[in-house]
Amino acid sequence: MTEEISAKRLKTSPPVIGTHNGHFHADEALAVYLLRLLPTYNPSQLVRTRDPSLLSTCHTVVDVGGEYSPANNRYDHHQRTFNSTFPNRSTKLSSAGLVYLHFGKPIISQLTKLAEDSTEVSVIWEKMYADFIEALDAHDNGISAYDTEALKASGVQKRFSDHGINLGSLVGDLNANWDEPEQDPQKPQEAEDARFLEASALMGTTFVRKLEYYHRTWLPARSVVHASFAARKQYDSRGRIMVLERSVPWKDHLYSLETSESPEDKVAYVLYPEGPHEGAKWRIQAVSVTKDSFESRKPLPEAWRGVRDEKLDEVCGIEGCVFVHASGFIGGNKSWEGVKRMAEKALEM
């Protein structure tokens, strides 16, 4: 269900937010924080209970109550009939995703001062869901990032254990341990609520930091990468070299732009200056096969890898070389002409 309920239409002041007590998770911790970012919910009282009579007095209820009804400000996802997803995504929503679906754009507008109906807010709204919220939805609903049957059939095994460390597990660690003495035996719910607020702050501040990055850094880089991508064929007739006027986050934007390109026309190397000052050294970076892959489409030549300075000049026959990483994913040169020649020669090898 994609119906949007504008926070401006909410009338209760200050509204009471309800969620369940007991063991808490990342999704409702974030959902509560997100609501409180909006003027309508700031300040707002939080009630943590599973008592239906108490929940019925709350203006907005998240992650409990067995009801999803935006018109009634009810955002639970545990009912058997629930199967709502974010637009153009397949992961079932949790309470975090539900609140973000309905209130994400007003929140982004509130924090960035961009118009709620602007293209920029829509772009950030979709990006924040794909890169942050969706993983929380999947975690809470027990959905693996991989097709478990296909993974099992492939025989792929982990090289090491990451012990499941993620935001969900960090929130889980804030719950009291089974043998942990109560901080205040006379007020056990207050102690639990304090832990929940700590978890909510962890999730919320992480969300805000991510949003600040996408607004102030990632989004402005979009136009830079678009311009560089459009001009790439002036450096290589097949468009395999892209030159950035300055170092910006480029990977997301490049992969998005390439969706309409044939494989042989994909960018192999991205060149950019190390800093904004005149005379800055230049970098050459091999584009990875996918955004999260360590495998490059075309690593820098094997003979160059792990070699530095004058020795590298001799090996590749180009002046001003600084280094090439041992894996061949990145290298450097003292000048624009030098790094450009490195890219051209690497394409020939």
Residue 181, pLDDT > 80, answer no
Residue whose tokens read 């460390």: 165
Position 105 scores a pLDDT of 98
DSSP for 259-284, written as a single string: GGS-GGGS--EEEEESSSSTT--EEE
Confidence of residue 8 (pLDDT cuts 50, 70, 90): very low
CA distance 163 to 173: 13
CA distance 145 to 134: 10
Position 5 scores a pLDDT of 38
Residue 73: closest CA among 28, 103, 118, 44: 103
Better pLDDT: 22 or 145: 22
Average pLDDT of span 166-194: 81
Better pLDDT: 39 or 2: 39
CA distance 134 to 36: 20
- Under a CB-based contact definition with an 8 Å cutoff, are residues 105 and 87 in contact? no
Residue 1, pLDDT > 50, answer no
- Span 72-114, pLDDT tens digits: 999 999 999 999 999 999 999 999 999 999 999 999 999 999 9
Position 187 scores a pLDDT of 74
Q: What is the DSSP letter of 306?
A: T
Better pLDDT: 39 or 291: 39
Q: Cα 195 vs. chain centroid, distance in angstroms?
A: 25
Three-class DSSP category at 232: helix
Position 4 scores a pLDDT of 37
Percent of the residues in the chain that have a pLDDT greater than 90, as a whole number:
76
CA distance 338 to 105: 45
Average pLDDT of span 310-338: 97
Position 92 scores a pLDDT of 97
Residue 13: closest CA among 35, 43, 34: 43
- Span 198-245, pLDDT tens digits: 999 999 999 999 999 999 999 999 999 999 999 999 999 999 999 999
What is the dihedral sign for C-alpha 210, 20, 14, 104?
positive
CA distance 323 to 344: 17
What is the chain's mean pLDDT, rounded? 91
Position 198 scores a pLDDT of 96
- The CB-side HSE value for 96 (13 A sphere, CA atoms) comes to 28
CA distance 186 to 334: 68
Confidence of residue 263 (pLDDT cuts 50, 70, 90): low
10 Å CB burial of residue 277 (0-12, 13-18, 19+) is exposed
Percent of the residues in the chain that have a pLDDT greater than 70, as a whole number:
93
Going by DSSP bridges, is the β-strand pair 241-243/68-69 parallel, antiparallel, or unpaired? unpaired
Q: Phi, psi (5° rounding) for residue 322?
A: -110, -50
Residue 303: closest CA among 282, 317, 287, 289: 317
